[in-house]
Structure 1
Amino acid sequence: MKSKQGSNANTPGNSSNPSNDKHEIRPGQSLELLKELHILTRDGKMNQDSRRKLKQVYHLYQFIEPLLQQLQQDHADISLVDHGAGKSYLGFILYDLFFKSMDSANQSRIYGIETRDELVQKSRELALRLEFPGMSFLNLSVADSITSAALPDQIDIVTALHACNTATDDAIQFALKKKAKFMVLVPCCQAEVAAELRKSKGDAVRNNPLSEMWRHPIHTREFGSQITNVLRCLQLEAHGYQVRVTELVGWEHSMKNELIVAEYKNLPAKRPAERLSEVLKTTGLENMRERFFTPQL
């Protein structure tokens, strides 16, 4: 299952200091993969943009690797679903650095979910070319993947990076249905709640001085993004998850830099569910209860 490494002649470098790129690439990383992902040029060099891209993926890998190791201690076969996979940079790097070293009898698998068929086809071709048999790519929306028979009933870890607007919430719904142990989410473009805030003109909001936080349009957009992630965290806690929110350092090109990591621990759910309900009521977002659903207590 291991991909073929290039010879020393293919060691990446740049004209100013050939050792710099070699130092930046993790040991065991397939240089052929990095070339296919256009992180390395065909002659094994990196420019500033590709260096930034590699740094971003590696930084995220540092968050996910310990989760995979924890799962591996519990059971041999690991399943991971990457929603909104795009060109599947993350999936390929995860497979190359972690999954490919597993025994050939291991049934671990990474599923890339993406709506653009041309990207799905290219990812399939690349996985075949690199001999990564434990990777599957499905042309599905995040919402459609929830009921798709192409995915197993239970998934260990769910990732959704920059899944726009409600796609992050669909990924959460997917993970809850699949009883995922871990979720790794980088939300993006959260417009749905902001639109609802603009419509909320009831007494509960008019008589709430905190509604000044979203009275002006630019504040509505910013507050809508913030409160969306607050509601997501409360929802996950209401389903028994332990939630950690941090900054995804390394995604310098994006203002959407919030990383949510959730681990299912069957924690007490009553208090976060009550808080979620209170926040929806206080902000006039009670119409969003179906989106931010909680278990029946």
Structure 2
Amino acid sequence: MAAEPLLRALMRMRTLILDPDVLVRAVASGRQKGQHPRWKRVELRYVDLKAGRHLQVTAYDETQAHTSNYALGEPGQPSPAREAVDDLLDEPFAHWHVETTTEQHQVRVTKKLEAMVHTTARAEEVEVERGHDRDKSRMLAEDDPVLISLGISTAEGRVKPSRQAKYRQVEEFLRLLDASITEARSKGHLRKASQDDPLRVVDLGCGNAYLTFAAQRYLTHVRGLPVHVTGVDVKQQSAEHNSRVASELGIDASFVVGSIAEASLPEPPDVVLALHACDTATDEALARAVEWQASLVLAAPCCHHDVAAQLRRTPTPAPYAMLTRHGILRERFADTLTDALRASILRLHGYRVDVVEFVESEHTPRNTLLRAVRTGAVVKGGGVRKEYDDLVSTWGIRPRLAELLD
């Protein structure tokens, strides 16, 4: 895959995006070196409204999504849709992912402002959904068989009122998973899978396997990737139930009974997921990911009792007494400190780490997610190591993740 002029690659993507008969969706994300696009991420698709077919653009900033619909215009006349696309192509995004009914295109902008383009053909032509009821750019439609089987949606294909929070959680996780896999693949940090050797995804502490099934369904049905998912949970009952659901849905998934720390997999996974593993179970999940040298890790921690307990037992260093004087502030500080140390430790073991918002705080107070991509650049000294050593020394704590990896 050779580099080509960026403008030429973008003009090819422009032609596909502006063709309402072939575009499934397009996604722009990331930023070119030293540049800052107006939006963190933008998604484009066509919808059929009462006024006719429009280009729908959903742009995401730091806190919310902004959706606009643009008319296509008559041939030879000014086109709001064309103007909107041209404006977005001018933004310094680092990645474009363009899906058509027959192909998927990945465009990565290099540091030299050239384009690396990877195109794959779909196994079969897909049908495009133009319904306006998807104006929230859903990753899985409400009537998806997986959501119905899991009890998130009714048999009529509507999300149950009591399961709205769970649906929102699944959607946001899939959005992060989608963007993370796209970026990791475009930079060569995630291997190219095949039907003979599919991408291996493990969900640690899977429970009822909401994420396991949703991830498999999205990656295979929407992204068209060959994927095998494995769920790990300590309960035999969960494994039996999940295996039965997988069989009924025809999903390529397997389930292992065991703890996160001791579960045995036939092959190391490429992608490790861990959603709301309690306290040090998150550390166990991160330690296993490092042990397996997983290419991509997405972990949403739950409670942080371990460091909080250590803070209660050790004197607070000056001049930070106010941070731990009140119980609620001490607990919140422990949350932040724990995840900061986890991110630092992963960096020391060869991962590039982002700490991002998982879902909005009104849906769950546990809304932090650690996203780590393995670059292989292990840090043995320097500023990162000194920052970590100084932090644990100042506060007199010993992170559980450090103990597990040592």
TM > 0.5: yes
Asked whether the 8 Å contact 2:287–2:401 carries over to 1, the reply is no
**8 Å contact kept, 2:190–2:295:** no
Alignment partner of 1:274 out of 360, 366, 386: 386
Q: Distance in 2 between matches of 1:22 and 1:215?
A: 47
**Structure 2: unaligned runs, 5 residues or longer:** 1-130
One-letter amino acid of the structure 1 residue matched with residue 299 of structure 2: L
Instruction: Identify, as 1 or 2, the structure richer in helix.
Output: 1
Between 1:246-255 and 1:78-87, the stretch displaced more is 246-255
User: CA 1:218–1:67 in structure 2 vs 1: closer, same or farther (change >3 Å)?
Assistant: closer
On the 8 A contact 2:355/2:371 being kept in 1, the answer is yes
SS of the equivalent of 1:291 reads helix
1:294, CA displacement in angstroms? 9.5
Residues 1:216 and 2:326 are matched in the alignment:
yes
Q: Does 1:87 align with 2:208?
A: yes
Which residue of structure 2 lines up, in the alignment, with residue 142 of structure 1? 260
Q: In the aligned structure 2, how far is the partner of 1:224 from the partner of 1:20?
A: 42
The equivalent position to 1:166 in structure 2, one of 280, 300, 316, is 280
Letter in 1 for 2:216: Y
Q: 1:34 aligns with which of 131, 140, 147?
A: 147
1:126 matches 2:240: no
The CA RMSD over aligned residues, in Å, is 2.9
Match of residue 363, structure 2, among 246, 253, 266: 253
Give the corresponding residue for 1:3: none
Q: Give the corresponding residue for 1:5.
A: none
- % same residue: 26
Q: TM-score, normalised by structure 2?
A: 0.59
SS at match of 1:80: strand
SS at match of 1:163: coil
Q: From 166, 172, 194, give the equivalent of 1:53.
A: 166
Question: How many Å separate the matches in 2 of 1:40 and 1:49?
Answer: 10
How big is the shift at 1:292? Answer: 1.9
Q: Deviations over 1:203-240 (max 9, x none)?
A: xx45x212431133222212111100010010011112
State how far apart, in whole Å, the 2-side matches of 1:22 and 1:103 are: 22
SS at match of 2:355: strand
Residue of 222, 228, 232 corresponding to 1:109: 228
Cross-structure match for 2:29? none
5+ long unaligned stretches in structure 1: 1-17
Distance 1:22 1:86, change over 3 A: farther
More strand by share: 2
Which structure has the larger Rg over C-alpha atoms?
2
Residue 64 of structure 1 aligns with which residue?
Answer: 177
Contact 1:72–1:78, Cα closer than 8 Å, also in 2: no
Give the whole-Å Cα distance in 2 for the aligned partners of 1:265 and 1:244.
13
Distance 1:48 1:29, change over 3 A: closer
TM value normalised by structure 1: 0.79
The one-letter code sitting in structure 2 at the alignment partner of 1:79 is R
2:270 to 152, 156, 180: 156
Give the Cα–Cα distance (whole angstroms) in 2 for the partners of residues 218 and 103 of structure 1: 46
